[in-house]
Amino acid sequence: MKTATKLTTMVLGVALFGALAVTSSTKAATIPQAPPVKHPVGTTQTYNLNPAPTLKANKGIAANLLKSQEEILSSYNFSADHKLVSTELLTLREHFANQQMSDQWTDVDLDRMVWDVTTAHPNGVRNRGGFYKNATVVETFDAETGAPLGSKTTGDWVMGSGGPHNYPGAVQNK
């Protein structure tokens, strides 16, 4: 009798499980499904790997349309710790040659006029790369709009003062 009870219980269990499976699959069939995505035949996605610069060349532009040296320097507060070394109007191509930089900004044409403002910081300067003693900073501005384009800091870098080397366990040279 015990065997019959076990057999009956098993049959009922299988039947109940099957009923649940059928019920859940019919519920899943009634849930609205998103239609499959159909791509138009013959279309492809192309990428421009060499886009035109955002800031176009303006080498031959009239001088009165460019920012003046006074306008560029108006935002600076010079002091004993922040001295003006030079201000120079040149093309971006000449800037790269003067700074001995091989990298180029793809969003600015090489014949775009820029202002290079060079300042000296004898007591040092701190930026996101760390602290530089006896620093020289060259900041580059667009000559037409006056917008900052970039900067380059040189000097005696103090290791561990900032940037990627400021973490626990970093080797400190003293």
Q: pLDDT per residue over 99-130, tens digit each?
A: 888 767 888 999 999 999 999 999 998 888 88
52 in a domain, yes or no?
no
Phi-psi region of 130 (alpha: psi -120 to 50; beta: other; left: phi over 0): left
Maximum CA pair distance of the chain? 109
The CATH number given to whatever domain includes residue 114 is 3.10.450
Q: pLDDT per residue over 79-106, tens digit each?
A: 888 999 999 999 999 999 998 887 678 8
24 in a domain, yes or no?
no
Structural domain harbouring 80: 63-165
172 in a domain, yes or no?
no
| Segment holding 130, helix H or strand E | strand 130-142
139 in a domain, yes or no?
yes
Q: Print the SS3 string covering 28-73.
A: HHHCCCCCCCCCCCCCCCCCCCCCCCCECCCCCCCHHHCCCHHHHH
Higher pLDDT, 38 or 146: 146
pLDDT for 47 equals: 80
27 in a domain, yes or no?
no
Higher pLDDT, 62 or 7: 62
Does the predicted model carry a pTM greater than 0.85? Answer: no
44 in a domain, yes or no?
no
| Domains identified in the chain, total number | 1
Q: pLDDT per residue over 25-35, tens digit each?
A: 555 567 778 88
Helix (H, G, I), strand (E, B) or coil at 98: helix
Q: pLDDT per residue over 48-90, tens digit each?
A: 778 888 899 999 899 899 999 999 999 899 888 899 999 999 9
6 in a domain, yes or no?
no
List the end-to-end C-alpha distance of the chain, in Å, as a whole number. Answer: 90
β-bridge partners, 141: 115, 148
119 in a domain, yes or no?
yes
57: tokens are 């060349």
The residue whose two tokens read 């120079």 is 88
